[in-house]
Structures are given as C-alpha cells and as structure tokens.
Amino acid sequence: MGCRIGIGKVRYMRIHRRKKEKTGDPLKDNMDLSQRYQEVQKMKLAPGLEQTLQTLQQVCGYSQDIKIRRFNINGQIPAALVYLNDMVNTLSVEEILRVLMVDIQRIEGWQKDRGLLRSAIKNLLIINSIEETDSIGELFYKMTYGNTAILVEGQAEAFVCGTVDIKNRDISEPLSETNIRGPRDGFVESLCINITLIRRRIRVPHLWIETFEIGSLTKTKVAVAYMKGLADEKMLEELRSRLRRIETDAILESGDIEQYIEDQPFTLFPLTLRTERPDLVCSSILSGRVAVLVTGSPHVLVLPADFSMFFQASDDYYEKPPQGSFVRILRWIGAIISVFLPGFYVAVVNFHQELLPTTLLLRVTASREGVPFPVIAEILIMEVLFEVLREAGIRLPVAVGPAISIVGALVLGEAAIRAGIVSPAVVIVIAMTAIANFSNPVFSMAIVLRILRFAFTILAVVFGLFGVQFGMLLLIVHLCSLRSLGIPYMSPLAPNIPSDMKDNFLLAPIWARTTRPKILGRREPGRQSPGQMPHPGKHSLDDIKGGNQDKN
Amino acid sequence: MLFMMRTTVVIALLPVLTSADALQDAWVSAIVSFFGAAFLVAMIAGLGAKFPDLTIVEYAQKLIGKWPGKAVCLIIIWAFLVIAATDTRIYAEALVIGSLTETPIPFIIFSTVIVGSVAAYSGLEVIGRAADLLFPIFVVMIVVSLAFAIPDATTMGSNLEPVLARGIGPVLRGSIIPTVIIAQYLCLTMIIPAANQPKKALGTALWALTGSTMVLVLVTLAVTAILGPHQGSRVVFPFLSMVRTIYISVFLERVEMFALLAWGFGIFIGVSVSMYCGSRALAQVLGLDDYRPLIGPLAVIWGTFSVHSYHNLFQLRTLFQPKIGGPYILSLILVPMGILWAAYGIRRLAGGKPDEE
C-alpha cells in the first residue's frame, strides 16, 4: 500500500544537547545516545559497497531485521538491496532484482557511464518513487517507511525505491465508541489509512492535510486536517505554532500531543475531543474544526472542543431529531446525577432533612438504623470500592469479567447490606450514580465527572448544600475561563449563542440546521439552503385508480 | 453586550427578594420606583455612553481634573464595597436563618467572597459567561416560585385590598428603597468600556430595569397576597417565606432551600461584578496597570467589612429603612454622578466638546 502523504512542513528535531561534544567513532560503546545520533546524521555513504554495508550494519548493531541482498548488476557490477524485513512488498523487490540483473543489458554502455546507469535505474524500474540520498541517517530513516535501497559499487549515493507493504490492523468498529446506527469503520494505527478514511468522505481538494514530524527519536508524523477556507487561519496558525514548539524525543500516541497543545494545562476537563470515528471527525472538520492525526494512534484529536461535544454521540444525528434530543437530555441528566447525587444525599441526610418528604425521610432514617459509619464514610467507602471494581473490570480478560461483576454485585453490595455495614440507601445512591456516569459517551469526560463527584461529596459533608453551591460556582467560573484553541469552552452556552442551540441540548432536524457553529464557521456560515423541510407531494398513492385489485 | 444585559438583570433582580414594604400597596411602590430608578440609571449609564471607551475613573479625571476626579471615584469604590459586603451579608443571614442554623456567619461570608474573588480574578469575560450560564437557573427559579404561588395568591387576593387606602404618601416612601438599590447599576460605569456596543448600554440597562421592575411587582403582589400586608412587611425575607408556603404535593414541599441556593447564584454574580469593578477602579485610581494584585487584599477587606459592619440582621434591616438607607445610598449615586454631570454640563456650555478631548 503506497503511503503518499503530501509533506507540508517536515521538521527534524534535534536531540537535546546536554553533554559535552564527544567526537569519536559512533560504532564504539562509549558514545551516548545524543552523540551517537549526531555522528550518524553526519555520516555519508562510502563509494565502496562493502564499506557502506558494513557501516550500515555497525550503526544498527547488526540488527537482524535488516536484510541485505547482494547481487551483480547484469553479472558485472556488485550491488546490494537493503531493506527492513517484513516492511516491503516482495514482488516489488523481485521486480527490482529482475530489472537490474536482466533487463538492464538492453541499455548500451551503462557499465562505463554512471549517468547512464542512474537514468537506467530510474527509467526501467516500475516503482512509484525513486529518490537518491547520500546520508546513512536519512537512508535508514527511509528504510523504516518500507523503502528499499539500491547500493552500487563505486557510487556514494543510494537509490531509495518505494516498496512499502506494511501490515496494518484491519479497519474495524471502534470498541470504545460503539453505536447503534451509523458507519462501523474506525481509525487504525496507520496514518495513511486514517487520512484515507477522511478523504473518502470529503472529496474536494480543499481538505488540506499538513504534516509535521515530531519526536527526534520516534520521528512521528502528525497530520493536521482541516477545510481550507473554512477553518480560521489564526486558529490554524496557533495550532501550528503549538505543534512546532514541541521538542521531545518521543511521541507515541495522540495523548502525548494532546498534553502539549492544550490551552490550559491545569484543568481536569479534556480540551480536545478524542475519537476513533471517522464520521465524527469529518463532521467536525466540516463545521470548521481541525483534526490532528498521529501515526500509531487510532485516536484522532478534534479541536477546538466545547463542553457540549462531550455529551453528544454520532447516533444522535443519524436517528430522528426527537430521539436524538431525548437521549441528549438523558445524558445531561445523567451527568448531573453522576456529579451531584452523592453530595446531595450526604448534604440532605446531614443538614437538610426537611427537603425530603416525611415518609421518604423516615425510610432513609430507618435504613440507616444500626449502621456503624457516618454517611460520609459509607458513601466514600462504596464510591472507592466501585471505582476500584470498575478499574479492575477494564483490564481483565473477557473470560474473567463476569466473575468480577458477581463478586462486586453480590458479595459487596448484598453482603454489605446484610451485614449492616452500609445502608441500602447508600448502595442505591452509588449504583444510580455509577449507571448515570456510564451514560456519558466520552470516556475522557466521564472520568472527570467521577473525580468531581468526590470533590462535591466532601464539600457537601462539610458545608451542606451551601458547599455544593460553593463548588458549583467555582466549577462554573473555571469552566467559563477555559478555552480550547482560543474558542470559549462553554460556547454556545456561555457566551450564549442562540443560533447554535439547534445542536446542543436539543437537536433540530437536519434541514433546520442550516448554519455552521457561529464562532467556528463564521467564514462560511451557510451549510445548506434553507426551506428544505420535506412535505408530502401532490400525488399520493391512493389516488391511483383500482388500487385494491392487484393482489397476486 | 448580551452578557452585560443578563448580568444587570440578575443584579437588578437581587434586591427584589429582600424588600417588600408599604403594606398592601407595595406593588404600587414597585411601579413608582421604576421611574426614580430609571432616572438614576439614565444618570449612571448616560454619562458612560458619552465616553464609550473610558471607565468612570478615566473620564472623571478628564472632566474635573486629576485629583478631584480620583476623589470622586473613591465614593464610587466605597459604593462597590458597601454593595458587595451587604449582598454577602444578606445572603449569609438568609442561609443561616433558612437552614444552616449552626454555621458561623463569617464562614459563609468568606466562602462567598472567595468565590467572588476567583471570578473577579478571572476577569469580566468569565463573569459574563458565568452569568450567561446562571441566568436561566435564576429566572427559572423565580418563575417556578411565582407559578407555584399562583394558586395560593388567587385565593387570598383579599389581602391586596383596599388599594391606596392610606393615600399616596406611604407608597412613595415605600418606593425609596427599591429605587436606591439601583446603586447596583453603578457597576455600569466600569463595565461599559468592555461591552461590545457601549452606546447601547443605556438602552440595555433600561430594558433590564423594566424586566426587574416587572418581577418586583409580581413578587410583591404574591408576597402580600399570601403572607398578608402586615406579616409581609415584618418577616425578614418575605420572598423566602412565601416560597416556604409552597405545597404542591407531598413531594414538593419545603423547597425554599433551592430558592435560596438559586438566589445565591445571583448574589455570586452581583458580588463578583462589584468586586471586579471595585478592584479595577481602585487600580485605576492608584495608577496600576493590572487590577489582579488588588483582589486579594480587597477580598479580605470586603469579608471583614461584611462581617463587622452589621452586628445582626436587625441592623441590616435598619439600613433598608427609607429614613436611613434612602439618603445614604442615594448620596452614593447622586454625589459623584451629580458632580460629574455638572462638570460635563459646564464644559459643554463653555463651548468645548468634553467627550472628544
């Protein structure tokens, strides 16, 4: 599979220079990584074939995945193919060999004229790309992309041929973001495939993809995809500068990038939306957002993100609007329950008993009869236990999973109540909270809500509902002060943008959502022409005469 | 501009919950107070509209010279201090009476001041957005409370009669306090330059005032109808007492805690705006570039002031007696704004264009 990414701006990172310059032989053991790196970058190919091959092997410590195929060009000039095992297409390599060993004799006098040999290689090989390089470092770097190098005796340049055939995971349904309706493809670890998945949905040249290379050791390709002319240029420039600012030696996942490019590092809230779904990424790009794809990560970052995005799933859009609105409202209620319910319970039981209807109050009090702990201890014990259970459940092999739920549900819940250690009301509260929390479609937000719940529980036990209010105000101030790539995090709620409320708590029908989000899509506000509300046509089927006759 | 409107509405609605005098004709007072308040708002916001890019500290110095200008602004800053401290204290008293009977008042006050100073530290934009978020909660609370009060209020409508039985005098006296509480609008003098369309500030402020007067009339009507004129004027927090009477079903009784908390959101906006304006004005008077370093010390002063200036609730209520609070708060508005308007007028008459200097 050909990997042809238009490289916009590639930046080679330098390893941080922290030690004294130590020159010497990079092949010796006493060279440290950074010095070794710089020495190898300086190394050039030698004219002698064997010498080059030996240097190459010594530089990589005779690693066994480097394959060298020695041969003679048309039986006369020694040459070698160098590639990394299992990254190349065998057929392509055989094709190179066939051409160089046999077909090249059709060209007269290639043995004497090296220029002729070069043009022969370039013209005879049916390979999609042939580049030349004279640096060992660059040669190796290109080989890691599945290219094959042709080294020829007496020539200090290598011909690098595109023969890539890297094995990838198949495109499959993303496990962390399952849906009922909508496309089932998900991003994979290959950047090229991921870009293809987006391209297949947006077929105009205005989908621009800029590539950066970050990480001096991992040399990770990071692609920024956006609609040219729709995404705000200042926002893009800001993103570019944040990406360029990164100086590190390793980027292994998009989570690593996420932490470098956030607006405000000291916040619990996710300021970028992470998704495995191409349809979600495309709809974000089409509303003026930017997607950041990272090699080796199926998680694509979408930014700027706003708070409401974390309560939306792609299903909402594919179902009819009332259904979509219904589940969205449910999710918001779920979020509120999952943050405030334990705190509310603690506050009511400790301070504000009058808020409960008398019968309910009696029930709660009766169920607390004989429980040895104060309410807050009960709640915290159960909360922590539940969180531990949940965390244990994630890492468990599928086969052991049910065992955990049995232990959790029966042993902890049932036994704790029977033994009178916790009151049934607390178990109900914790269970409701937990279930409500799982209604959140985005993990990174759900976990924030879980952490907040602890804070609110503690505030509630100290200050009662006033403490909850205190925390809520701090939370609101904090949320309102957040920005994601310069866009207010709480928009369109605060600042309130009425036209964007069509796609927030409630979802308007698709023919009514004629405009893009106001701040993001201001360069091209119109999405579709208005007035597309469907209406029944003039002809209906029961007008057809003799309708009831045809019954075969 | 939008956010400013919301903020001001919220601020304007606050006093509604605390003041209901003049017996059964309180609602007439509310209507009357609109005219006085409108005049004051016009006075406050009108001058700001003449200098759309300047805060009061800046244009006061332009109009009457450097030091006199600063001196006048100190009065305004004092007003911010009084407003924020009193708001906080009222809220704290209400909480302690309403539910947290054993919590020390300074504790609540300092918590509120901390939240307010965090908001003020984050800047006006953040306060505005927070107001955007809280505004619906606040309005829903008032609307729901009023709606729940309707069944009771209609059956006890006789409490509202006879209309104007004691002549217009008490009505006018009753309207003094709702009028002067408009001092909250003094924050406009600091906010206007930050608004998107400073020229429209006056209109927006008047709309906000209209909205709040309507609510004020409705609330006083409901309170008087349900509690009766004499009790309505005697209880400490009439609105909360009214909410307490709400009994829709077994499930919806004694919900005044929620009303109280929703009211707290409004208090929060008012306090944080006052703190922001106060510290920003003080920073400008002192010639500092950034107001943020002032917030810490000022927050302490605010909290202390709020704790110590009133010994108890009754002293607080005395402040809201027409005889005491009227002249006091009114002078906080009239003196600085009067001086500035006079200076503006004189300069205008002298042929200069004071707003283009």
CB contact burial A146-180 (16+ within 10 A = b; e otherwise): bbbbbbbbebebbbbbbbbebeeeebeebeebebe
Question: At CB < 8 A and 24+ separation, what contacts does A363-370 make?
Answer: A363/A425, A364/A423, A364/A425, A367/A423, A367/A424, A367/A425, A368/A423, A368/A425, A370/A420
Closest chain A residue to B4, measured at CA: A495
Residue B279 near residue B298, CB atoms below 8 Å: yes
* Separation of alpha carbons A521 and A230, rounded Å: 6
Task: Note the ipTM here.
Answer: 0.85
**Is A53 buried (19+), middle (13-18) or exposed (0-12) by CB count in 10 A?**
middle
**Is A426 buried (19+), middle (13-18) or exposed (0-12) by CB count in 10 A?**
buried
pLDDT digits (tens, 9 = 90+) for A238-292: 999 999 999 898 999 999 999 999 998 999 999 999 999 999 999 999 999 999 9
- A67: pLDDT confidence band, cut at 50, 70 and 90? very high
Phi and psi at B350, nearest 5°, equal -70, -5
Share of chain A above pLDDT 70, in %: 92
Cβ atoms within 10 Å, residue B351: 6
Nearest-Cα distance to chain B for A227, in Å, is: 29
* Separation of alpha carbons A56 and A140, rounded Å: 8
More confident position, B123 or A341: A341
Q: Tokens at residue A261, please?
A: 């490019």
Residue A423 near residue A497, CB atoms below 8 Å: no
CA dihedral A429, A432, A434, A437 (to 10 degrees): -130
Q: How far is residue B211 CA from its own chain's centroid?
A: 14
Nearest-Cα distance to chain B for A474, in Å, is: 6
* Separation of alpha carbons A19 and A39, rounded Å: 14
* Separation of alpha carbons A434 and A393, rounded Å: 14
DSSP code of residue A396:
S
* Separation of alpha carbons A292 and A223, rounded Å: 6
User: A–B: how many Cβ contacts below 8 A?
Assistant: 86
Angle at A143 between CA A137 and CA A147, to 5 degrees: 140
The beta-carbon neighbor of B99 closest among A351, A477, A494 is A351
Q: Is A470 on the interface with B (CB under 8 A)?
A: yes
CA distances from B326 to A355, B90, B329 (A): 38, 18, 6
**Is A281 buried (19+), middle (13-18) or exposed (0-12) by CB count in 10 A?**
buried
* Separation of alpha carbons B349 and B344, rounded Å: 9
| Of A172-181, A392-401, A447-456, the least confident | A392-401
Nearest-Cα distance to chain A for B94, in Å, is: 12
**Is B198 buried (19+), middle (13-18) or exposed (0-12) by CB count in 10 A?**
buried
Instruction: Tell me the residue ranges of DSSP E strands in A181-277.
Output: 207-214, 220-227, 273-275
Whole-structure pTM value: 0.86
The beta-carbon neighbor of B133 closest among A463, A469, A490 is A490
Q: Tokens at residue B319, please?
A: 């402040």
More confident position, A48 or B50: A48
**Tens-level pLDDT at each residue, chain B (357 residues):** 344 444 445 554 544 444 445 556 667 777 777 788 788 878 877 777 777 777 888 888 878 878 888 888 888 888 888 878 887 888 888 788 777 777 788 888 888 899 989 988 988 888 888 887 887 777 777 777 777 777 766 666 666 666 666 666 767 776 776 676 677 777 777 777 776 666 777 777 777 777 777 777 777 777 777 776 666 665 666 666 677 666 665 555 666 677 777 778 878 888 888 888 888 888 988 888 888 888 888 888 888 888 887 777 777 666 666 667 667 777 777 788 888 888 888 877 776 655 544
Residue A3: per-residue pLDDT: 41
Peptide bond into A322 cis (omega under 30): no
* Cross-strand bridge partners of residue A220: A214
| Of A5-14, A107-116, B231-240, B314-323, the least confident | A5-14
The beta-carbon neighbor of B122 closest among A351, A470, A481 is A481
Angle at B324 between CA B318 and CA B328, to 5 degrees: 125
Q: What is the DSSP string of A259-292?
A: HHH-S-SS-SS-SSEEE--HHHHHHHHHTT-EEE
* Separation of alpha carbons A35 and A45, rounded Å: 19
Q: Is A474 on the interface with B (CB under 8 A)?
A: yes
More confident position, A55 or A552: A55
* pLDDT at residue A5 tops 50: no
Interface of B with A (CB under 8 A): 2-3, 6, 95, 99-100, 103, 108, 111-112, 115, 118-119, 122-123, 126-134, 250-251, 253-255, 257, 261, 264-265, 268
Residue B289: per-residue pLDDT: 84
Q: Tokens at residue A152, please?
A: 């020829």
Residue A460: per-residue pLDDT: 93
The beta-carbon neighbor of B129 closest among A355, A470, A480 is A480
Cβ separation of A477 and B261 shorter than 8 Å?
Answer: no
CB contact burial A6-18 (16+ within 10 A = b; e otherwise): eeeeeeebebeee
A477: chain B residues, CB-CB within 8 Å: 115, 118-119, 122, 126-127, 130
Alpha-helical segments (H) within A311-423: 314-318, 321-350, 358-367, 375-395, 401-406, 415-418
pLDDT digits (tens, 9 = 90+) for A348-369: 888 888 778 888 888 888 888 8
Q: Is A469 on the interface with B (CB under 8 A)?
A: yes
Average pLDDT, chain A: 86
- A202: pLDDT confidence band, cut at 50, 70 and 90? very high
Share of chain A above pLDDT 90, in %: 43
* pLDDT at residue A418 tops 90: no
The beta-carbon neighbor of A351 closest among B100, B119, B126 is B100
Residue B230: per-residue pLDDT: 65
